[in-house]
Structure 1
Amino acid sequence: MKEIVTIQVGDYANYIGSHFWNFQDELIGLAGDPQADSVFKNQDLNMDVLYRTGETHQGIDTYTPRLVSINMRGSLGSMSSRGTLYKEVAPTTSDVFTWTGSVSTQASEPREKNLFLRSLYEEESQNMVNEISGSHSGSPSEYEDKDITESLENGVQFWTDYSKVHFHPQSLYELNGVWTDVEEFDNYGIGRDSFSWASHGEEISDRLRFFVEECDHVQGFQFVVDDSGGFSSVGAEFLENIVDEYTNTPVLLYAARGSGSRASLQTRKRTILVELHDAISFSRLSSYSKLIVPVGLPSLGRASKFLHIEDEKHYHSSAVYAAALHSISLPFRMLPVGPTADACSVSGAVDFHGLIQMLSGQGRQNMVSILDVSMPTPALTGGQNEVSLLENFQPLTPMISEDGEDIHAIEHLTVHGAFASVEGRRATVCEVKDSLDAAFERANTRPMFHHLSVALCPLPIPLPFPSIFGNQVGKHGEMISSQLTNSSSKGSLDVHSIPMAARLRSSSAVLPLLENKLQNLHRYGITRGAAGAELLSSWGFGKEELVEMQEMLSKMVATLCPPQSSSDSD
């Protein structure tokens, strides 16, 4: 088995991670639920790729994510940094006789659990009682699902507020001593000043080592970092350590930021700081990863015509990015296809190394990929305004060129839970393949190479998922009518699963993003009399290091620039 270790660094990265692990937990629960839809029974997915088995001191079996999560102290809300499965033992201290003065103790009250977390605790307590007594009956819950979903819509303050997953004590790491408010922890320099690898690095490395050393064969690190502020620096330090210690283990890096996370830039000084942060962050993070995927639109309004996103709510926007990451990760844990290929429920398994080689190791050898999503993806045939899988994709990567096609592009697509028609019949693997081939035939241009992974299992929608679906979306993600208005939104009580499609592509469409980073680094940081030179110096960057970053970005741009024709050079 080839395991994956997931790393989440920063507040928004953990918002995404909370939804991502909720999807996995829901899949595991549905697979064992006799009342669940049969499509969830034979998923042909090996969840051990993402999860580890263990045992508490009381001998209770555990199944927890293979995860290292890093955030500020106080970011866990009502959750303990040791998770919920393993009881935390209060440290004992001996009396100190060398101090004769008075002693005062200050302690803050633990944060109260919200309705959702209280309902989880009640359900788990009832399950334990049933196990002990051998009973299968339970007392009715005092918490209504409708009240729970409404409380989440109006009251999420932490990523743990909607997490339904148990974590291992080694998973959740708080940066003690980093007391800066998240809103002010907003640039690479602050992160560098506040975080010292010498102070925190060994403990973080030990936590990662704990998960890696119990693996049979690690296929790679799935790394999600909030790159909108100081956590870029924390992530870069962590990545540098990973590259040094795990030389041959690839890193798939998602550099994420929340929608609407940047306030309007009212001053030139603020503009320079933000543009330099973005250039430095991207340069540093990309230098330590095999493949970097920038995600985070200023607004998610265009991500899907079937969604209603309130951009100011991280709880909303992170759900979309998490769904896309879930889809992209499916091929990493698909079981090998047997001799009955036509009847199988998955096709197109690929591991980390294969995907990265596919997208960054062919032709141009570019290491920046675009993430697109179709959420939910419409039925393959039969709609009134029928569109192909390809036409329904919307980019989640910012600053992407929408004009023209790249004949040298390389694409990896994942489609799961698709409907063959509007009547609601699930499409077979072969039908999805045929539909995609037909879409490419009709397209004006097609990529140089594409790889398709298909699974029958749709995206499950767990209870704490936000109310972001338009009212055209049915219970199983089908389009029920194009005539309905978009005045209201649906959530998990109305929508139980949806068909999904996601795509990673290496394409010249990412050139505007790369050119923007390169131009701003040169303009504000390197050119003679640059307005941001003093700022970068205060962040600890010298001229030689900045020139190296510029050369790396220039190489990325040159790799994707189309070759000049002889007429252009005359």
Structure 2
Amino acid sequence: MDSKGILTLQFGHYSNFIGAHWWNIQEAGFEYNSSSPSEINHDVLYREGLTDKNQVTYTPRLLLVDLKGSLRTLSESGDLYEPPPDPDKEKTRVEWTPDHVDVQAASQCKKNQFQRDLEDPSEADKVAKKTYDFDKVVQVWSDYLYARFHPRTVNIVKEYEHCNENTPFDVYTLGTSLWKTPSFEDDFVDKIRNYVEECDHFQGFQLLADSFNGFGGLASGCIEHLRDEYDRKSILVFPVIPSHFPTSSDCTTTQAVTNDSVRTVNLALSVNQFASHSSLFVPLSTTTRSWRQAGSSRQFEYMNYDTTSPYNTSAILAVALETLTMKHRLRSSGNFDLSDLTADLTLHGRKAVAASLRLPFAMRSDECLLDNLDRLQGPLTVTLTPNCDVGNARMMQHVCIRGVPSTRLKKPLEKAGAQRDLPAYRCCTVEEMFQMYLSFSTDATASHVTTVNKPISVGAPFPRIFDPRLGINGDVLPEDRKRNDADAVEKIATVSGLHNCPEVGNMLESLHTETRRIGISRLHQFANEGGGIEKDEFEECLDNLFTLRENYEDNYVI
């Protein structure tokens, strides 16, 4: 039985892009045959099991949902408990004579080199250091998935097909209707119950949800069920929004405008439900603004990424998730759990908070943390919540610093020089120094700081998005040196945070304003699909968004 368990739920293709990177990052950081236990209690998100051959497995405590055709070469039931059938070795059984039967075999997707290497025992341990052209071969999230799943993890919606423009799963009400069908809800609810009952002490749920299409409605239906059945458990929701929305080549201008409006209404309906039934929700995107259209992309120092690639952008969000969820996953956190995190950040009805990230947190190889913070210009982190720029005042925040060891805190006394005159030189831990830095750089702010010594592993299949000025250990190289193109950054330090701040109100206000401009009666999708949305329901949603936005007025004082 597992202790302090959390069940992760992923709804939608982009959420699964993020999730695939997230589980890859976690497994790359596993420590085997270590003389000392890991800082991270992996049992929080993972479960131990046995196959029918009594082989021990360690798999994510996870349920994910996607559409038919989204898996490519990944088996829906996985290969841990029984190997997938080999189509080349199977014989077609035909009861009728061949001249009366027309057999049409579906084309089989071929595995890429990375997946073939994972199946080869002699190559599997080398993949993190090998070079793969993922930017060209990745079509779906399973193309770069390293982690292996339990048979109950993957759930495919058979009624809709991935990337099918004739029957798209693009409307919120399609998702709410799908949840109400016994064929989906009963099976999914049973799987949730099985996972929950395995845990000695169950903390709650964390959800990643595509909130711009039908998966927003599906996730909303699930969250409402969770609140009814597990009322005392925490529900942490991450609505995710891609940085790029592909447009069909035959799409007219009118249709494009309609698609933007549908997407905005989907987001508003989803946020309304998340605010009602979750304990805390954190919108995530690598763009400065979202809703109708994606805005410009967030920029990170020492990093260059393809803003139109879900493989690239989802990796950034996965690093943020891995870092900002550390507090309740550490062995050193004691009794602190998910409920404590949500309670800290939701004062005065502020259920929406912003996320931020510094990726990488790069230091020169010859400098210490004190020198780095002393020369830092501008904000410490980059905001990852759309239509919101986290300020430096009136906040309640949780910040995590990962990958900065105490040995790099400050210079030794005999070499400190002028550093000894700085107040921060009295700090004895990384946590203490960051607490002091945040107290100087923010106003009227309460900060909780968490530190993790071990950096994040970013070898293959993580995208190669880091600047050549970084060495393989994530440090900034001297000006006369650059990393060899054949080498990749293997580990990086990061800083990430969750911020309850007034600027989140700007995000809610912008969503309310954009949605208010849309005439719901003109969007036939919401009138016809899945039972539709009544005008009164739509107006109530807008009123709720406005009320939630009022909780972030400037007269709020911590």
Instruction: Give the TM-score range, shorter chain.
Output: 0.7 to 0.9
For the residue of structure 2 that corresponds to 1:317, the secondary structure is helix
Corresponding residue for residue 23 of structure 1: 25
Q: Distance in 2 between matches of 1:182 and 1:484?
A: 48
**Paired residue for 1:387?**
376
Q: Matches of 1:32 and 1:255 in 2, distance apart?
A: 34
Provide TM-score, normalisation by structure 2. Answer: 0.83
- Specify which of 155, 166, 169 is matched with residue 137 of structure 2: 155
State yes or no: 1:323 paired with 2:315: no
Maintained 8 Å contact 2:212/2:263:
no
Q: 1:123-138 alignment to 2 at 5 Å?
A: 123=121, 126=122
Structure 1 contact 293–370 (Cα < 8 Å) conserved = yes
**Contact 1:348-1:452 at 8 Å conserved across structures:** no
The 5 Å alignment of 1:342-357 reads 350-357=336-343
Q: Does 1:467 align with 2:464?
A: yes
Greater alpha carbon shift after TM alignment, 547-556 vs 467-476:
547-556
296, 303, 307: which one aligns with 1:307: 303
Q: Is the 8 A contact 2:521 2:535 kept in 1?
A: no
The alpha carbon displacement at 1:309 in A equals 0.9
1:279 deviates by 1.7
Q: Match for residue 243 of structure 1?
A: 227
Q: Which amino acid is 1:463 matched to? A: A
Distance, in Å, in 2 between the alignment partners of 1:428 and 1:162 is 45
Q: Is the 8 A contact 1:43 1:456 kept in 2?
A: no
CA shift at 1:33, angstroms?
Answer: 5.9
Shift of the 429–193 alpha-carbon distance from structure 1 to 2, 3 Å rule, reads farther
Please say if residues 458 and 492 of structure 2, whose CA atoms lie closer than 8 Å, have aligned partners that are also in contact.
yes
Secondary structure of 2:81 counterpart: coil
**Residue of structure 1 in register with 2:538 after alignment:** 546
> Which runs of 5 or more structure 2 residues have no equivalent in the other structure?
288-294, 364-368, 413-424
Query: Which string of whole-angstrom CA distances, capped at 9 and with x for unpartnered residues, describes residues 305-325 of structure 1?
Result: 111110121111111100110
Cα deviation for residue 254 of structure 1 reads: 0.5
Partner residue, 1:280: 269
Aligned to 2:120: 122
Alignment partner of 1:14: what SS?
helix
Instruction: Tell me the equivalent position of 2:502.
Output: 508
Contact 1:370 1:507 in 2 (8 A): yes
Q: Distance in 2 between matches of 1:482 and 1:197?
A: 61
Superposed, which structure 2 residues align to 1:94-493 within 5 Å? Answer: 104-123=102-121, 126=122, 141=123, 149-179=131-161, 181=163, 184-192=168-176, 197-261=181-245, 266-267=253-254, 268-298=257-287, 301-336=297-332, 350-360=336-346, 362=347, 364-379=348-363, 380-383=369-372, 386-387=375-376, 391-401=379-389, 405-407=392-394, 409-418=395-404, 430-443=428-441, 445-447=443-445, 449-481=446-478, 493=487
Tell me: CA distance 1:270–1:109, structure 2 relative to 1, closer, same or farther (3 Å): closer
Partner of 2:512: 518
Residue identity opposite 1:293 in structure 2: V
Q: Report the CA distance shift for 1:490/1:306 in structure 2 as closer, same or farther (over 3 A).
A: farther
What amino acid does structure 1 have at the position aligned with 2:119? Y
Quote the Cα distance in structure 2 between the aligned partners of 1:239 and 1:233.
Answer: 10
Question: Residues 171, 534 of structure 1: CA spacing in aligned structure 2 closer, same or farther, 3 A cutoff?
Answer: closer
In structure 2, C-alpha distance between the alignment counterparts of 1:142 and 1:63, rounded to whole Å: 17
Distance 1:59 1:515 in 2: 55
1:133 corresponding residue in structure 2: none
Closer, same or farther: CA 366–384 of 1 in aligned 2, 3 Å: closer
Report the AA paired with residue 173 of structure 1: N
Shift of 1:110: 3.0
Quote the Cα distance in structure 1 between the aligned partners of 2:455 and 2:276: 35
Q: Is the 8 A contact 1:149 1:466 kept in 2?
A: no
RMSD: 3.7
Distance 1:190 1:484, change over 3 A: farther
Deviations 1:181-229 (A, max 9, x none): 2674333245456665333111111222221111112101111011232
Distance (whole Å) between structure 2 residues aligned to residue 354 and residue 490 of structure 1? 45
Q: 1:288 to 1:47 in 2, by over 3 A?
A: same
CA deviation profile, 1:80-100 (whole Å, cap 9, x unmatched): 01112111587x9xx9999xx
Partners of 2:434 and 2:373 lie apart in 1 by 19
C-alpha separation in 1, matches of 2:281 and 2:144: 28
- More off after superposition, 260-269 vs 541-550: 260-269
What is the one-letter code of the residue matched to 1:477?
A: G
The equivalences for 1:47-66 within 5 A come to 47-66=42-61
**1:79 maps to 2:77:** no
Identical amino acids, percent of aligned pairs:
26
Distance in 2, matches of 1:425 and 1:21, equals 36
Structure 2 counterpart of 1:131: none
Corresponding residue pairs, total: 517
Question: For the structure 1 residues 471 and 429, does the alpha-carbon distance in structure 2 shift closer, same or farther, using more than 3 Å as the test?
Answer: farther
Tell me how far apart the structure 1 counterparts of residues 58 and 428 of structure 2 sit (CA, whole Å).
34
Aligned partners of 2:535 and 2:51: how far apart in 1?
A: 52
* Distance 1:152-1:14 versus aligned 2 partners, 3 A rule: same
8 Å contact from structure 2 (residues 286, 297) kept in 1: no
The DSSP-based 3-state class of the residue aligned with 2:161 is coil
Structure 2 CA distance for aligned equivalents of residues 446 and 547 of structure 1 = 36
- For residue 3 of structure 1, report the CA deviation from its aligned partner: 0.4
Deviations 1:253-303 (A, max 9, x none): 001122123659944434433332322232233322111110013368534
Distance 1:425 1:383, change over 3 A: same
Counterpart-to-counterpart distance in 2, 1:306 and 1:348: 35
Cα distance between partner residues in 1 of 2:426 and 2:75: 44
2:291 — aligned with what?
Answer: none
SS of corresponding position for 2:437? helix
Kept in 2: contact 1:378–1:418 (CA 8 A): no
- DSSP-derived class of the 1:120 partner: helix
